[in-house]
Amino acid sequence: MGKRDYAIILLGATAGLRAVDIVNMKLRDILWRSGEIHVIQQKTGETLSLPLMPQVGEAIKEYILCGRPEADSEYLFLRHRAPFQKMNDGVPIGDMFDSYQKKAGIVRKPYDGKGFHSLRRLLGREMTLAEIPVTTIAQVLGHSKTDSATQYISLDSEHLKACALDFHGIEVGRSDLLA
């Protein structure tokens, strides 16, 4: 179970995949020779091709060889209890992530933005901070429009400060502030 969970969390953190897309990954979606991952996104129905990061590839390989239950299933990630089949949806991944957060002492509240999807937002933010073009961020996260990826730009407060206007020398009176 730990090997499976580790590979799933790495996929979320390094590839920005949605939990539902990880659940639906098939063994054939990992192209080992070319070092790519191909998934059909449930949200858009579009195929997404991403590089298979070495650390993620090793984690998936370790899961397949040493942690994946013996089962005749085309799906990559299986339930860890019988019947060994794919998970129904992304909810078990969210629950798994929550349990690891609880073990780590991370306090969660409903809708606090700390769920599994936060790994996706973190990747988008890190890419923004690395000054990766928004078109590339949209492609990696599987957004069909760049507008969907612009939410990550607003998280870049450090670079946004550089765009702020300088009001030095402009007098503001009390009446201006209360108007």
CB 133 within 8 A of CB 146: no
Catalytic annotation, pick one of 61, 80, 117, 121: 117
Catalytic annotation, pick one of 79, 86, 120, 125: 120
Residue 108 falls in the annotated catalytic set = no
Residue 117 falls in the annotated catalytic set = yes
Catalytic annotation, pick one of 68, 143, 145, 161: 143
Residue 152 falls in the annotated catalytic set = yes
Catalytic annotation, pick one of 63, 75, 79, 152: 152
Catalytic annotation, pick one of 43, 102, 108, 159: 43
Catalytic annotation, pick one of 3, 18, 86, 125: 18
> What is the rounded CA–CA span in Å between residue 79 and residue 69?
8
Residue 120 falls in the annotated catalytic set = yes
Question: Which residue stretches of the chain are H helix?
Answer: 2-15, 19-23, 54-66, 91-103, 117-129, 134-140, 146-149, 157-163, 174-178
Residues designated as active site? 18, 43, 117, 120, 143, 152
